[in-house]
Structure 1
């Protein structure tokens, strides 16, 4: 089978300038509109980006926000070029959609930063210790998961960050296939060509990524209250949905409403309309992101403005992505070839079968090693000394207030607090 060509053999004869006047044909009008919208999108996004850079007071959060704010201008600029150079539309589209993976991954790391602020030591894992076992979201709601497991955060991060690997690889393979004329996007869902297989891989990858985001949002919506997480997510996801659905609609109109001309095929016109619509929509999405990712939350009165170069470098330096990806690899590799369990201590293993106040709200370490009853060995599941201290029974010679009980208590405290700064009486040394 041969792949139908996206382009005609004819070359567009018109140009933007025709002598001393502008040749305002339909294509040139669309060219001007898409270019003007792209410039307006860049200006709106630039205001938001520079304000975050000048008030760069929370690196962990704002470096992810800057990456998300790049999405409208990236889409607008690439869509303008795909409209202007419509015969190479497929190459530009494959490059454009790759940035979606960066944005979704940055959004997850931003949510983790928000949640981590509610845990001890700025740790999302500590915040997860407050969560009970619960069912997975639809369609896997018949299975339950425990957020306190050590592998939970690694699995969650990997479910989203895998897309930042898979999606660019799919685009690279698609570009190569297009160069050899075996991609065939215009041929529909045909398994004789590469596009069908790449679409399946991309669909599975983005479905896993979105499922991970939904799971984490449902788990931590109490911690995210006041952060407008839904608006932030919609600012990203609506861009993806609009671009995908309108592309599907324009493709469906080929041969019915959209007809070829002397210089453009049906596919050229459908692609051009999609690119023009994206340029227009990005103006509104850049304004929406200005509200959703407002810089006022990071302005500290009286503090000097920060230099813009460090924030810009942080936003394009993806070392944190690499660290998270390889951190997950390392964890699973170590778990696979190690005898250590792949999870932390279960809540039921604590003395009372549940976490105490300090554990639940991250006021101290959830797992601390204290001397066990047998002496010498360390039991990681004792959260306090209470289970080790046993006063003598009440009686004439062994009551709780008797000298024997007091002596036993002092001896116990002396032994269990050895090296911790306490003397034999249980008082802190000077």
Structure 2
């Protein structure tokens, strides 16, 4: 017999307003409402300062495009958490939307690391960045297997391991919203094979595990090239948000019915979800400060340069066509590999630039060398105020 899914909300709705008899009605929920709103506003303010700093000093578009996407994470989480607290009866919808941005952040971080590594290439040639890497064991728990970084399939698989999450996580959120509409999600109820939540969470867990493992593998492979760029601080500022939101949600859920009791207008699930949303709003203030430090704009300030316009950087950051081209490139490689194309099965080393979509060259021409060119998909960008900046080339 299929067990019924308990309702997330009470049938009785609080009819009182924030203003009661001409005075403020400060109950516990409205105090939390004010705290969540204040923290969300502070997070947005801090993030705006950080984002505007990069927009006004947009000297390395290929890197800062990804940084801007990462800097959006705290305000996105804070604002959505505020609304999920304020409109707690629709908490599930907000939480599913919030989780989808995590996929964007992790994918942007991978592409940022790729740009960092390419920038260290000898003589401005991205092909030199990885060709010296030898065969080595995979990270735990697959350390019994060894891999050769210069194999064609390896680098495309590594990139795909992270980018797949930008497809699966939004798909899981969309499926969860549809299931919630038809009352077959049962997120607050016990895990059951008769409801969608268990399957969606399993898919999400598998997908994010693969993505995080891919990031760990790439960091281990290129940590020498990333020295001085504080990759660990940058990664932790993202990962800590993911960890805090996941584990505290688990703790509050475990307290439902034990420590957290239902009230007249709030179910135990409502209270647990509300506490989680309130906590996220408070935490994002600190994470926005951490990200401002980890992704400091000081690395991109060029003395004497005129400040850049904010509109092109903002458009770059919300234009996700580069994700599409990266995903399409990987799928094309796998398709050609399945067809037996010789270039995908060759034992010849494949360079970093080709596998990761970065075009690098160093060509002697009349005693001059052509600087490294890095593509900023989907269109070229040139900074007239930075004479040393490369002219991007579309591949």
- Segment drifting more, 186-195 vs 315-324: 186-195
Label 1:140 to 1:124 Cα distance change in 2 as closer, same or farther (>3 A): farther
Deviation at 1:121, TM superposition (A): 7.6
Asked if structure 2 preserves the Cα contact closer than 8 Å seen for 1:76 and 1:279, the reply is yes
Q: TM-score, normalised by structure 1?
A: 0.79
Answer whether contact 1:57 1:298 (CA < 8 A) is retained. Answer: yes
Structure 1 CA distance for aligned equivalents of residues 127 and 279 of structure 2? 42
Q: Partners in 1 of 2:37 and 2:146 — Cα distance?
A: 50
In the alignment, what sits opposite 1:9? 11
Q: Deviations over 1:82-130 (max 9, x none)?
A: 0000000000000000000000000000000000112258665531101
Cα distance, 1:225–1:159 mapped onto 2, change above 3 Å: same
Q: What corresponds to 1:41 in structure 2?
A: 43
**Offset from partner CA, 1:281-334 (integer Å, 9 cap, x none):** 000000000000000000000010000000000000001100100000111112
Q: SS of the counterpart of 1:186?
A: coil
- In structure 2, runs of 5+ residues without a counterpart are 350-359, 364-395
5 Å matches for 1:254-293? 254-293=256-295
Distance in 2 of aligned mates of 1:311 and 1:344: 39
Q: For residues 212 and 172 of structure 1, do their structure 2 counterparts lie closer, same or farther at Cα, with a shift above 3 Å needed? A: same
Task: Find the partner of 2:307 among 301, 305, 308.
Answer: 305
| Correspondence 1:237 to 2:239 | yes
Q: 1:251 aligns with which of 250, 253, 256?
A: 253
Q: Which residue of 1 aligns with 2:25?
A: 23
Q: Contact 1:174–1:198 (CA<8 Å) still a contact in 2?
A: yes
Which of 216, 219, 235 in structure 2 is aligned with 1:217? 219
Higher mean Cα deviation, 59-68 or 326-335? 326-335
Whole-Å separation in 1 of the counterparts to 2:56 and 2:223: 30
Q: CA 1:121 to 1:212, structure 2 compared with 1: closer, same or farther past 3 Å?
A: farther
| SS, match of residue 37 in structure 1 | helix
Cα deviation, residue 18, structure 1: 1.7
Q: Is the 8 A contact 1:48 1:295 kept in 2?
A: yes
- C-alpha displacement of 1:235: 0.3
* Structure-2 residue corresponding to 1:55: 57
The 5-angstrom pairing of residues 65-144 of structure 1 reads 65-119=67-121, 126-144=128-146
Report what 2:338 is aligned to: 336
Q: 1:215 & 1:25 partners in 2: Cα distance?
A: 49
| CA 275–149 in structure 1, closer or farther in 2 if over 3 Å, else same | same
Aligned mates of 1:85, 1:363 — CA distance in 2: 54
Q: Which residue of 2 aligns with 1:314?
A: 316
Bigger CA drift: 80-89 or 146-155? 146-155
What's 1:196 paired with? 198
Q: CA deviation at 1:343?
A: 4.6
Instruction: Flag the structure with more relative contact order, 1 or 2, with Cα contacts below 8 A and sequence separation at least 6.
Output: 2
The structure having more radius of gyration, on CA atoms, is 1
Contact 1:136 1:142 in 2 (8 A): yes
Runs of 4+ in 1 over 6 A off after TM superposition: 362-365
Contact 1:125 1:153 in 2 (8 A): no
Cα distance between partner residues in 1 of 2:139 and 2:73 = 28
How far apart, CA to CA, are the structure 1 residues paired with 2:306 and 2:268? 56
Number of residue equivalences: 351
Q: Match for residue 384 of structure 1?
A: none
Preserved contact between residue 126 and residue 361 of structure 2 (Cα < 8 Å): no
- Runs of 5+ unmatched residues, structure 1: 348-361, 366-430
Question: Contact conserved, 1:150 with 1:342, CA < 8 A, in 2?
Answer: yes
